Structure 1
């Protein structure tokens, strides 16, 4: 990799210092005939460009190069090629503030990253890549406010659970069209590992996976990541806003834990450690994400003195889920975070001087009991949520299955007087607004320690999808029963697909919930569904009458 600093312009500007890095990998499998046909014009940028993990002085840039027609994702083919990048203050690139060169090679599946530093805080920039005279699309990104800045407000898109086969990613398109976002949080399940026709069933598949078989090898994971980044809405989202992402289970396999997964059989799918490493390698190659020193996604980003964002990895270190021979949910030896990550989170929350402590968690931390539901609803919800068959009426894949870690974290918030902690969550394919009680059984007589906003899925099945009934019919019974049995649950929507927009000021953090009209319609429209907020100092959610304008 080589990088070039621009000469000082006539008016003083910050120098741009650059570190560019290519990801690493091996192996192969072709993408698709359509992509191969387009690749006949190689070299080309067929998978768009992206940015991520904004800092006050920098941002991570990403692209993937197709140097020759046969060099499709996962193929392991194609020569090394020099890739130039540049970043500017304007979309016409009249005021370029940084340039650099890196190498795309088959060992990184021809993906490249440039970790650009020396930029100005809270500033929009434009960037692009090139190979000779061939240029990538131009994309926009934005840096974070200075660490000590008194930011007036922040606004983030929030998404989770985008299953290619279940529908189109219209939620991404509508977020891409907004010009008011500082970044987009992706809380996991950016893609799914299943074979075509398995989830959802073939009769309800909107578009088939690539590759068609369940992904297991490095080549498989690369191929599926590559397929996702041929989607117009995916590319639009990445071109419009920096992404801040964590993984959940389906970037690996369903209900993944440190030693395996529900959707992994060693006899048929090989060694779990090898599969997990392949999935991680492809993820870091194909996503605009900085790996932590531990090679994972838990990390911390700061947005002035208004918000610290603590991002969690709840798959790499967790114990096996309860109900499958691995102990009781209250067992102190069982963990969802791992000791090191939980200590890191606790110390970061205690040391934060930001008004809001945002925690990106891929699975729900609020306790929820489902035992009050009628049997005809508990069955479909069990299918959706992965409740143990004939066992506990709780979701053991969430923090409910690891109560000792949750108790320790909530006790830490209470004992240290840590206020204004907001958990941001995906995974469950439903939208929720919750208080996080210190003691659920006695709430609201006992206090709330934090709040939680859960966003629904982009496309993945929810309750009405599983039952194949009209929205807001069967679900109304389930929603009422859940709220009656869980008084800290203030709202839930079991039937919609869409996204959230989190708006943060010193006074409050508000989640505006938006839904799309039809996940199977590529041109689906969007509409506002509901808004909830938490006022600073209250540790409770309340309904807001309208979205933030």
Structure 2
């Protein structure tokens, strides 16, 4: 089994090699601008593009394009209403569209919520392109995208925006706006929790909600998930991000329900909320309709992208195949029959890492792989961290929703890296609403003597609550104590920030991979500013983390 997105050879005849895939989604709220051009919006009953445009999963010769057309005002996301409508698409080598390189038509229908996906091939490698859609007299915003370097191309560097955990009700997506404004990114990597499933006022509490979810109830059905995706896609900053850069996305749990596993979720009540299999299928269908993501052969999001000989990017699905989370302290976390990846995916990852000839092996993982014990924290912080991280009452040591709850899979993977002498593996992680820079020890108990197998950079949340939000205190007034306690009990953790919200920028060159951490001034302020906070890097061949004292840009 493989989900490797193998690029086809570049053709001199891009129109002849264009492949078109159609899908569909939800709609209705407010058109926005893209790259300075206003989105066309029909004030009457004709089609409109209300959810922007997007691109994703770039290849050396192609990219996946996405939009959603609202054929009539009542054909809102999840409604099932609206007749089929023809949507034309166009890709150009310039923003003015004076040099069209590919074009075609596809039909959007209610069967796929009037979303459109176009898998365009025959493009030139490492080249920017502009794209747009039309339906009747309506013209979409213009998006910009970028193909990747050729499979065997040597490239000086590649740079990614890195984000995770964007809860609509917790704040505004200004982190996306600041990434959209950058002109130096090859792509944006979204590590999961692109949206949240909760009913309005459940997380955060009603009195702390910045803006309410739609629908207001917890999403369970296909219509619900489509409606929630559609609501998120009306955010101006989210649209700006998609309009400016290709996005490479994986899901975590909240695209389904909190602490999802292969047979259920903590936030799913069988019977009252239907069967889990039906809910998970609805969530996946809506996700693939609404996101510029290619499904793997396995029908999930684990897949592989390549950026020349510099970096292979292995993307994981840690929800579809995992065993149910267990209680900490039961000993079951070490059960070799339990898995976070599933056998097929773990074998796929191991073989891909071993076969890679790229300088860097980047692994997008939605939950943290580094072992972390929280038991050394002061008693007055255990309660808030229990709430934040989902730890058992009493402050027991590990977060079993992470790789800490599936130690046999981790042992096998890290042993594979060590035994095969696979260098320069960097895990890129979200989920935990904190920023971390970690060395990944082969054996935590004997670190540093036993050495490291990899490094890990964890980005904080875009908006989702972290320690200062839970405690309702100013940043750094309490968390510095907690951060010091965590580092004292986990020597491989070189830095963490429990308070900030923002994003990362990963810069990869032959010499090093460096994560620059940026923070936004106030997630509750739509016009929040962003500032560089810190940088950490791992040098080629070292499997170590060190501080860098300036950002790459």
TM-score bracket, normalised by the shorter chain, equals: over 0.9
- Output the CA distance in 1 between the equivalents of 2:363 and 2:394: 33
Residue 251 (structure 1) aligned with residue 266 (structure 2) = no
Aligned 8 A contact 1:163 1:460 in 2: yes
Taking a change above 3 Å as real, the CA distance of residues 259 and 39 of structure 1, as seen in their structure-2 partners, is farther
Taking a change above 3 Å as real, the CA distance of residues 117 and 263 of structure 1, as seen in their structure-2 partners, is same
Q: Which residue number in structure 2 is paired with residue 297 of structure 1? A: 301
Q: Which residue number in structure 2 is paired with residue 367 of structure 1? A: 371
TM-score, normalised with respect to structure 1:
0.95
- Output the CA distance in 2 between the equivalents of 1:102 and 1:34: 22
Give the one of 43, 57, 79 matched to 2:61. Answer: 57
- Output the CA distance in 1 between the equivalents of 2:139 and 2:330: 53
Give the one of 324, 327, 330 matched to 1:323. Answer: 327
Aligned 8 A contact 1:364 1:399 in 2: yes
Q: CA deviation at 1:390?
A: 3.9
Q: Which residue number in structure 1 is paired with residue 391 of structure 2? A: 387
- Output the CA distance in 1 between the equivalents of 2:481 and 2:28: 44
Q: Which residue number in structure 2 is paired with residue 203 of structure 1? A: 207
Give the one of 455, 459, 481 matched to 1:455. Answer: 459
- Output the CA distance in 1 between the equivalents of 2:43 and 2:318: 37
Aligned 8 A contact 2:417 2:453 in 1: yes
Q: CA deviation at 1:32?
A: 6.5
Residue 312 (structure 1) aligned with residue 316 (structure 2) = yes
Taking a change above 3 Å as real, the CA distance of residues 120 and 326 of structure 1, as seen in their structure-2 partners, is farther
Q: Which residue number in structure 1 is paired with residue 268 of structure 2? A: 264
Q: Which residue number in structure 2 is paired with residue 132 of structure 1? A: 136
Q: Which residue number in structure 1 is paired with residue 23 of structure 2? A: 23
Partner SS, residue 55 of structure 1: coil
Partner SS, residue 428 of structure 2: strand
Q: Which residue number in structure 2 is paired with residue 116 of structure 1? A: 120
Residue 214 (structure 1) aligned with residue 202 (structure 2) = no
Calculate the aligned-residue CA RMSD, in Å: 1.8
Q: Which residue number in structure 2 is paired with residue 421 of structure 1? A: 425
Give the one of 347, 353, 356 matched to 2:351. Answer: 347
Partner SS, residue 102 of structure 2: strand
The Cα offsets for residues 234-253 of structure 1, whole Å up to 9 and x where unpaired, read as 10000000000000000000
Aligned 8 A contact 1:32 1:210 in 2: no
TM-score, normalised with respect to structure 2:
0.94
Q: Which residue number in structure 2 is paired with residue 282 of structure 1? A: 286
Give the one of 132, 144, 147 matched to 1:143. Answer: 147
- Can you give the 5+ residue segments of structure 2 that lack an aligned partner in the other structure? 1-11, 33-40
Q: How many residues align?
A: 534
Q: CA deviation at 1:31?
A: 6.0
Q: CA deviation at 1:131?
A: 1.1
Farther off after superposition, 373-382 or 209-218: 373-382
Aligned 8 A contact 1:31 1:210 in 2: no
Q: Which residue number in structure 2 is paired with residue 441 of structure 1? A: 445
Aligned 8 A contact 1:361 1:424 in 2: yes
Q: CA deviation at 1:268?
A: 1.5
- Output the CA distance in 2 between the equivalents of 1:41 and 1:454: 46
Give the one of 175, 189, 195 matched to 2:193. Answer: 189
The Cα offsets for residues 299-345 of structure 1, whole Å up to 9 and x where unpaired, read as 00000000000000000000000119997100000000000000000
The Cα offsets for residues 60-114 of structure 1, whole Å up to 9 and x where unpaired, read as 0000000011110000000001100000000000000000110100000000100
- Output the CA distance in 1 between the equivalents of 2:446 and 2:319: 31
- Output the CA distance in 2 between the equivalents of 1:341 and 1:504: 26
- Output the CA distance in 2 between the equivalents of 1:41 and 1:533: 53
Residue 478 (structure 1) aligned with residue 482 (structure 2) = yes
